[in-house]
Amino acid sequence: MPKKEKEKVSKASLIIIFILAAALAICIRHIITSNDRVAKFENYLGEYYYSQEHLELAMQDTLGDIYGDNAEANFDNYVYKLILDDINEHEPDEIAKYNTIFGKDRTKEVSEQLGEYRPATVTVTDGICTVKINDFVIGKTWKDLIKHKKTLETNRKFIVDLRGNTGGHTDELVEVLGLFHEDGTVVYTEIASEIIEKKCIGDKIIDFDKLVFLCDEKTASSAEVMIFNMKSDFPDKVSVVGKQTYGKYYSFVYDDFPDGYSFAMVSSLMGNSKGETFDGNGITPDIIAEGDECMTKAIELLKGE
């Protein structure tokens, strides 16, 4: 190749390399500035016209009880809180209250509550099998029930007591609903940016003629969904006795930060196999009752009295 042509190729190569290097530098700068914008903003507020005192007052007013001694955590929580507050302006009140940040003390309380578990029990009296489900805790509730497989398989009349059950993990709810449905049946839907169908896995254990749910004002979330979904799937076999339920038809994610704070955000609406949900008024029982009368009315329904 002649010398002049080689020089042209060499110059062209250098230009291409320069352009690629410049483009790469711009990309890297964009990534760094995108990841660092909040930190830069915090520095600007501290260094320029706006005094640190004004920033502290703004954070205190916005954060309230969750304002703490950690300046870095305060600023991050301040940004999160402003975003959540703006989102909540467009959400119904019953959903907005779950889009929140918790302070250290409240985080400890919530974590302890989420860690609690009251075992499920199964008993049989006069041909009626009573299943008491207190929580839906992943890896525990279904295991408690399956210990009584023979009892569940051989009975045809059931009382499922969900009084005081405030909900729990929806994956465990799907496991429990699977006891009543054939393998692969859609038993639950998550309704968010798209509808996700949840199918049960495993053999059907319970084949019932009649089933009565017991509920009260504390029955919420996954417990309400169980009632709603079972009534939808078995309308002629399922009845409900008790008091109006809480009315929590949405699930939420909960996560904690290393600094001791935590947040919760609504993640989806909870629906039946058809993608339908109940509303914030809760589930209205077929028969209103409370206390010992709930069990009495349930037994009367099962015995056809």
The predicted-structure confidence for 258-290, as pLDDT tens digits, reads as follows 788 888 888 899 999 999 999 888 999 999 999
Distance between CA atoms of 24 and 247, rounded to whole angstroms? 53
Is residue 232's pLDDT more than 60? Answer: yes
Is residue 44's pLDDT more than 80? Answer: no
Q: What is the predicted pLDDT for the residue at 3?
A: 47
Degrees (nearest 5) of the Cα angle 172, 155, 188? 25
pLDDT in tens, 6-36: 444 455 554 444 444 544 454 444 444 444 6
What pTM was computed for the model?
A: 0.78
How is residue 295 written in tokens? 């069990």
| Residue 108 pLDDT grade (very low, low, confident, very high; cuts 50, 70, 90) | confident
Distance between CA atoms of 293 and 282, rounded to whole angstroms? 21
How is residue 31 written in tokens? 């990534």
Whether residue 86 contacts residue 62, with contact meaning beta carbons closer than 8 Å, is answered with: no
φ/ψ of residue 44, rounded to 5: -60, -40
Whether residue 61 contacts residue 85, with contact meaning beta carbons closer than 8 Å, is answered with: no
Whether residue 254 contacts residue 114, with contact meaning beta carbons closer than 8 Å, is answered with: yes
Whether residue 165 contacts residue 246, with contact meaning beta carbons closer than 8 Å, is answered with: no
**260: DSSP letter:** S
